[in-house]
Amino acid sequence: MNDQIQYIDYSTRELQDATTPQQVVQILKDGHERVRTGRRLTRDFNRQVRTTAEGQHPLAVALSCIDSRMPVELIFDLGMGDIFSIRIAGNVTSPNVLASAEYGCAVAGAKLLIVIGHTRCGAVSATVKLLGSRVTAAEATGCEHLDSIVNEIQRSAEGIPCQGIDEPRSPEMASLVDAVARQNVIRVVKGIREQSKTLDGLVRERRIAIVGAMYDVVTGGIEFLVEDGLGEPE
């Protein structure tokens, strides 16, 4: 990969057209490494505004949690116009989320869909605490629409031992929450292809890839968990 692809400070149509899903993954990894080592790119905000005003050519679509500690553009050292960002508590899917991802990839031309969860996730923590309880998320929190998200995340807790931990701030509870969050990312990556013929077709045609990752809010590190569409053709 040459320097033009790695270090341009905003995405252009030429860059989008020339970049493969594998290269976009590497761009994200390189950007995160620059952030971790204090070598963020210097970007001219006003120039980016001018150059992106007439159109956008994002390299990726990111489905992430709303958590304030993990703004995707910052942790991957991205510029204006580089990425479509879909943010929803627990980074779960819904018809609206899938529609946004489909548009970003099929219409706007993004080469990658990344699902990124994080440690110490509040939505996952609330879900784990409600497992086995007859109290709904709405009753426990007063948030009348939260059950739709909690119910989705609870599907990721299946098969993970969640009983016998009573102390909400214990290390065991923290490990449990992180385990469910990881499984949630993996399940969402798999579910996207099952629920969207559009995105599944793009993966089969090798036009996009779908990857899952976890961001650690303590260390600032990122672990890539699953990469769908980067291996051999199906």
The CATH number linked to 62 is 3.40.1050.10
**The pLDDT of residue 127 is above 60:** yes
AA identity, residue 4: Q
Q: Does 43 reside within a domain?
A: yes
Distance CA 178, CA 157 (A): 11
Across 1-10, 45-54, 155-164, 181-190, the highest mean pLDDT is recorded for: 181-190
Q: Does 151 reside within a domain?
A: yes
* Tokens 């290269």, residue located: 23
Overall domain count for the chain: 1
Q: Which domain holds residue 107?
A: 3-228
User: Residue 68's pLDDT is what?
Assistant: 95
What is this structure's pTM? 0.88
Q: Does 234 reside within a domain?
A: no
Q: Does 192 reside within a domain?
A: yes
End-to-end CA distance of the chain: 25
pLDDT tens digits for 138-158?
999 999 999 999 999 999 988
**The pLDDT of residue 187 is above 50:** yes
Backbone phi and psi for residue 115, each to the nearest 5 degrees, phi listed first: -100, 120
Q: Does 233 reside within a domain?
A: no
* Tokens 């290390």, residue located: 171
pLDDT tens digits for 23-81?
999 999 999 999 999 998 888 778 777 777 777 889 999 999 999 999 999 999 998 88
Q: Does 189 reside within a domain?
A: yes
